[in-house]
């Protein structure tokens, strides 16, 4: 009979190995394997919306067709983060021309939103909720701009799945139901919101079926009459009438002036990969600025989620976000030194401020010329390898909380990101687009796109982009494990609408980071706080051109999935 001590020792070794990792393949934090398919793929934050996109691809629709259909469905199914009352940004790779296109479909401040108006009201910041936080919704004009250039199926066909779900109803998923309940409590004094989103006087719970026939009517009108209905026709007049009733400043002229901008995407090389982002008024170049500095450091040698690694990324984030607070704004109104900010020599200059052993309490913005937010993200690849990376948002949860009479959606509160500091690059002005947090991303190699991805979550987004890319490029993770890996989020940097970092901010860490690392970060002067949530929501598709397959990832922090066919 074997010695009992040997048996106990064997059991302990087995148990330690079992609890250290119960996955057969992949790292211990991975929630599942990648989704792999050949003909097409959709990855987004709601499974029903992802399936709609697959259905559109199977009907012969393009990646853009599927993206529009998915986004319309998300506005219904995940109104906690999106909707036609918000804005939209997209990167589109067109396989036929072999070119990457960028679209900025963000709306501007109403003509009545002058700095003087806010000053006369005694305000030091733009209110976070209510009509003074409004900017013109750019989403619908973005749909039609994308469709005109890259679409194939009729817009009416693309909107029909969302219309059908709006009339027949859909069951709420768990995380969306959680945020929905919080918003119903926050907007208790908004009668139209309560009537629409709290039927029977309470928020719908997980598994409850929710219907929105008002939104169905609105989408049907858009499908029939196009963007004209939203910006110059019936929907526009209803928004202006509602605005007049609740103290807003929307005019028909403001809505009619909403025009999307095709932008030249910006990029830089990171270890042989070219990473693409959109220019300001978005914050995409923050990710590029961080990568420009990280390119100078052997990140892989530091080790994944070690104290050295996390300290380096947090300190670089601090440097970049001070520039973000000072320079990022609508380039039509401010002189934004975009290309200088992402230049290699500027990265070297800023890196000189990084202390590898001590957390900075305050850092200045540089001179390159020598945080909350709810969003949805989706990415689609079709059989021709057209690729869409699209992000869309109301900004904070259900946005402003204002639901125009009978239209079935909330107007965004993106204007809350304007500054009221005279002379600031992001100061409010009529017709000006505010600083924006939502950023789609794409990565190419050898002149072809290889990775389309995004990370939802306000100021977390550039931090999330960088962590995903380091996980894949520096540490060799697959697209699923890269999203599931424990993340950090640094908060407390200076903001584009006011507020200055004076105490170094706070490093939030997910539970998968070891205590020894937390202790080491604290020894370097970091204030470290665990936090449930706030680490973004990632979706991504990797394109393996050599083998002709697509590999999708969709992390467990959201309700969504990647689906292929």
Across 521-540, b (16+ Cβ under 10 Å) vs e yields beebebebeeeeebbbbbbb
DSSP letter string, 11-80: HHHHHHHHHH---SSS-TT--SPPEEESS-EEEES-HHHHHHHHHHHHTT--HHHHHHHHHHHHHHH-TT
Q: By CB neighbour count within 10 A (0-12 exposed, 13-18 middle, 19+ buried), where does 270 fall?
A: buried
Report the CATH number of the 269-373+452-564 domain: 1.10.246.130
Choosing from 44, 218, 312, 375, the catalytic residue is: 375
Cα distance between residue 561 and residue 119, in whole Å? 46
Asked if 375 is an active-site residue, the reply is yes
Neighbours of 194 (CB within 10 A): 18
551 three-state secondary structure? strand
Handedness of CA 301, 304, 306, 311 (dihedral sign): positive
pLDDT block averages, 10 residues each, the chain of length 565 = 44 40 80 95 96 98 98 97 96 97 98 97 95 98 98 98 98 95 94 96 96 98 97 98 97 98 97 97 95 96 97 96 91 93 94 93 72 77 98 92 97 95 94 94 97 91 96 97 95 84 90 93 94 89 98 92 96
CB neighbour list of residue 8: distance below 8 Å, 6 or more residues apart: none
Cα distance between residue 443 and residue 265, in whole Å? 12
Cα distance between residue 502 and residue 564, in whole Å? 47
Instruction: Please tell me the predicted confidence (pLDDT) of residue 471.
Output: 97
CB neighbour list of residue 239: distance below 8 Å, 6 or more residues apart: 250, 255, 404, 407, 411
Element of type H or E holding 4: helix 4-20
Q: What is the pLDDT of residues 501-545, one digit of tens each?
A: 878 999 999 988 999 999 999 999 999 988 888 888 999 999 999
Domain residue spans of the chain? 62-262+395-417, 269-373+452-564
Q: How many Cα atoms occupy the beta-carbon half-sphere of 450 within 13 Å?
A: 18
Phi, psi of 4, rounded to the nearest 5 degrees: -60, -35
Largest CA distance in the chain: 90
Cα dihedral 377, 381, 387, 392, rounded to 10, equals -20
CB neighbour list of residue 523: distance below 8 Å, 6 or more residues apart: none
Instruction: Please tell me the predicted confidence (pLDDT) of residue 498.
Output: 75
Cα distance between residue 132 and residue 415, in whole Å? 8
Neighbours of 361 (CB within 10 A): 12
DSSP letter string, 331-380: TTTS---HHHHT-HHHHHHHHTT--TTS--S------TT----EEEEEEE
Handedness of CA 109, 113, 116, 119 (dihedral sign): negative
Q: What is the pLDDT of residues 270-293, one digit of tens each?
A: 999 999 999 999 999 999 999 999
Q: Is the pTM of this model over 0.85?
A: yes
Task: Round the CA-based radius of gyration of the chain to a whole number and report it.
Answer: 23
Instruction: Please tell me the predicted confidence (pLDDT) of residue 149.
Output: 98
SS (H, E, C) 462-523: HHHHHHHHHHHHHCCCCHHHHHHCCCEEEECCCCCCCCCCCCCCEEEECCCCCHHHHHHHHH
């Amino acid at each position: 009979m074997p010695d009992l001590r040997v048996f106990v020792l064997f059991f302990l070794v087995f148990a330690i190995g079992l609890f250290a990792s119960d996955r057969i393949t992949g790292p211990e934090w991975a929630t599942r394997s990648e989704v792999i398919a050949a003909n097409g793929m959709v990855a987004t934050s709601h499974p029903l919306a992802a399936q709609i996109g697959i259905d559109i691809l199977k009907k012969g629709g393009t990646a853009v067709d599927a993206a529009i259909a998915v986004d319309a469905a998300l506005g219904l199914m995940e109104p906690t983060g999106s909707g036609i009352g918000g804005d939209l940004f997209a990167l589109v790779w067109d396989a036929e021309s072999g070119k990457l296109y960028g679209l900025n479909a963000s709306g501007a401040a109403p003509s009545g939103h002058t700095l003087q108006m806010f000053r006369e009201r005694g305000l030091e910041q733009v209110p976070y909720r209510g009509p003074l936080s409004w900017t013109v919704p750019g989403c619908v004009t973005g749909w039609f701009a994308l469709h005109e250039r890259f679409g194939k199926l009729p817009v009416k066909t693309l909107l029909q799945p969302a219309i059908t779900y709006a009339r027949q109803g859909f069951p709420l998923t768990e995380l969306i139901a959680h945020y929905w309940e919080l918003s119903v409590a926050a907007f208790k004094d908004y009668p139209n919101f309560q009537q629409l989103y709290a039927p029977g006087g309470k928020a719908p719970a997980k598994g409850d079926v929710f219907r929105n026939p008002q939104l169905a009517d609105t989408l049907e009108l858009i499908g029939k009459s196009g963007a004209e209905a939203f910006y110059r026709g019936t929907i526009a007049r209803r928004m202006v009438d509602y605005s007049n009733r609740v103290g807003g400043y929307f005019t028909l002229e403001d809505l009619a002036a909403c025009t999307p901008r095709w932008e030249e995407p910006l990029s830089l090389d990171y270890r042989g990969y070219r990473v693409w982002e959109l220019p300001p008024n978005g914050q995409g170049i923050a990710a590029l600025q961080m990568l420009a500095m990280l390119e100078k450091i052997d990140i892989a040698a530091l080790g994944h989620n070690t104290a050295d690694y996390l300290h380096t990324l947090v300190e670089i984030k601090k440097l970049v976000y001070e520039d973000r607070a000072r320079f990022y704004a609508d380039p039509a109104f401010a002189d934004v030194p975009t290309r200088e900010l992402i230049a290699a020599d500027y990265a070297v200059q800023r890196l000189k401020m990084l202390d590898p052993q001590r957390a900075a309490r305050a850092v200045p913005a540089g001179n390159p010329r020598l945080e909350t937010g709810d969003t949805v993200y989706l990415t689609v690849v079709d059989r021709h390898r057209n690729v869409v990376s699209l992000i869309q948002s109301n900004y904070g949860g259900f946005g402003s909380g204002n639901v125009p009479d009978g239209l079935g959606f909330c107007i965004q509160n993106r204007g809350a990101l304007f500054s009221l500091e005279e002379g600031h690059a992001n100061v409010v002005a009529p017709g000006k687009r505010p600083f924006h947090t939502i950023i789609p991303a794409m990565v190419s190699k050898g002149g072809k796109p290889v990775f389309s991805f995004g990370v939802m979550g306000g100021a977390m987004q550039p931090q999330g982009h960088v962590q995903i890319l380091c996980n894949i490029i520096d540490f060799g993770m697959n697209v699923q494990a890269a999203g599931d890996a424990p993340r950090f989020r640094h908060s407390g940097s200076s903001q584009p609408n006011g507020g200055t970092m004076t105490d170094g901010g706070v490093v939030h860490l997910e539970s998968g980071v070891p205590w020894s690392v937390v202790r080491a970060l604290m020894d370097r002067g970091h204030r470290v706080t665990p936090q449930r949530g706030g680490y973004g929501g990632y979706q991504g598709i990797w394109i393996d051109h050599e083998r002709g397959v697509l590999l999708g990832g969709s992390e467990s922090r959201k309700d969504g999935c990647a689906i292929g066919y």
